[in-house]
Amino acid sequence: MTADSLADLRAQVADGCRVLAGRGLAPGILGHISLRVDSSRLLVRCRGPRERGLAHSTAEDIRLVDLDGDPGAPGELDHGYTVPFELPLHTAILRRSPDVSCVVHAHPRDVVVADLAGLPILPIVGAFDIPGAALAAGGVPVFPRSALVHTERLGEAVADALGDRPVVVMRGHGLSSTGTSVAEAVLRALSVDTLASLSLAIVSAGGTLQPIAPEDLAELPDLGSALNLSTAWRHELARLG
């Protein structure tokens, strides 16, 4: 991999971090994104010597490490950079799922509140968010522990809970989402957060959560990656200003 291509990937991860923060899914210094580079290395948002939170992530904060958290190239963890405590969450999922390139871990408040209130993520909307409806219809599992995922054993437990689904809710903690790109993983996290927020609003208004009818779900078209990913991601980046 060339230095230019690696620089581009660092910028993509930093953009993803800023989008998460801009949408309120990572409102402080907690949360991180990783991106697979090859069979043994990944880029991950690290803690830096001038930590200011995800909203202020730069490409410099994205460091190359191996699956054990050691530097993936000389100097990658110099100058006070350290890998996230929860790196085992990322590496367990990446080891388990070769088709996954990106792992997002975020702390969206409404996802945490909805889960603690006993509200599952259901396909309660249709054309309002077609990718979100399809994601929810396939099921969003819950990792039932509120622990910091700082060991290989806990990372494997999260990967077990995730299974073959793209997103897992983490009780009293947040969520982890996956994708073939930073854009896909972040947009999936945003969809789950939207569904959780809508669920809380519906219940607060005295309503009952009800999935849309199967025939309506079947009528929702796949609008394609050009709209669902490329255009949606350009919009998220444009919102950053």
| Tens-place pLDDT, residues 32-74 | 999 999 999 999 999 998 899 999 999 999 999 999 999 999 9
Q: What is the CATH number of the domain that holds 111?
A: 3.40.225.10
Residue 241 clears pLDDT 90, i.e. is over it? no
CA 187 to chain centroid, in Å, comes to: 8
Which structural domain, as residue segments, surrounds residue 22? 3-239
Classify the phi-psi angles of 79: left when phi > 0, otherwise alpha if psi is within -120 to 50, otherwise beta.
Answer: left
Catalytic residues: 86
Token pair, residue 230, equals 């490329």
142 Cα distance to chain centroid: 14
Q: What's residue 40's pLDDT?
A: 96
What is the per-residue pLDDT across 141-180, written as a single tens digit (0 to 9) for each?
999 999 999 999 999 999 999 999 999 999 999 999 999 9
pLDDT band per the 50, 70, 90 thresholds, residue 118: very high
8 Å CB contact between 102 and 185: yes
Average pLDDT over residues 19-39: 96
Domains of the chain: total: 1
Query: How far is it, in rounded angstroms, from Cα 44 to Cα 12?
Result: 11
Task: Compute the residue count for the chain.
Answer: 241
